[in-house]
Amino acid sequence: MADFPLRIAVFASGGGTNFQAIVDKIATGRLNAWIMVLICNNRNAFALERARQAGIRAEHWSETQAGSREVFVEGLLRVLRDAKVELIVLAGYMKLLPVEVVREYQGRILNIHPALLPKYGGQGMYGTFVHEAVIAAKETESGATVHFVDAEYDRGPVFLQRKVPVLPNDTPEILRERVLKVEHELLPEAIAKFAAEHR
């Protein structure tokens, strides 16, 4: 079973650079996985275009589009079940996953966060806001965390972490780029680690 590629679904909301990092690792043979579907809550997310360029199924699906929470949840679960997804990867997904999805895929959902959790996590701690907070607190290091997802933002158990220094002249934008480079390595590494340990 473990010889077969891990079947994953990726959720994203924006540019999709972490999604692209996964696509690239798979393409070079350094990650044994299949991206079955990319799901975006934002119809204008460039991640959708990245998926189309890579020949990967791309779905725009949001509660607003669905018309009700119930239809939204049913639609999500149907896509995931039909694709026989083994692991859900949140790669810059800005929404809280419905509790029904978390329950069905408990222990099989990973999220990447641009800080060293449990510090600088939770609602509102995303994008540049995280890096602004790290610099304002005069931290000497930051980094990226991959963690298992539960029903709250950034609260599930840490799976992998990597540190980067915070330098004296860093702006939030400079720190963001340094952390993002680490994210692009850490997320595919976490997927490989999950496949090795949980199949």
User: Bridge-partner residues for 158, per DSSP?
Assistant: 147
Characterize the bridge pairing of strands 141-148 and 109-113: antiparallel
| Pure H helices in the chain | 17-27, 46-53, 63-66, 69-82, 99-104, 128-136, 172-198
Buried b / exposed e across 128-157, counting CB within 10 Å, b at 16+? eebbbbbbeeebeebbbbbbbbbeebbebe
Letter for the amino acid at 149? V
- Using the predicted structure, report yes or no on whether residue 1 has a pLDDT greater than 60: no
Query: Could you give the residue numbers annotated as active site?
Result: 113
Q: Where are the chain's structural domains?
A: 6-198
Domain topology for 6-198: Rossmann fold (3.40.50)
User: Bridge-partner residues for 6, per DSSP?
Assistant: 33
pLDDT tens-place string over residues 110-164: 999 999 999 999 988 999 999 999 999 999 999 999 999 998 888 999 999 999 9
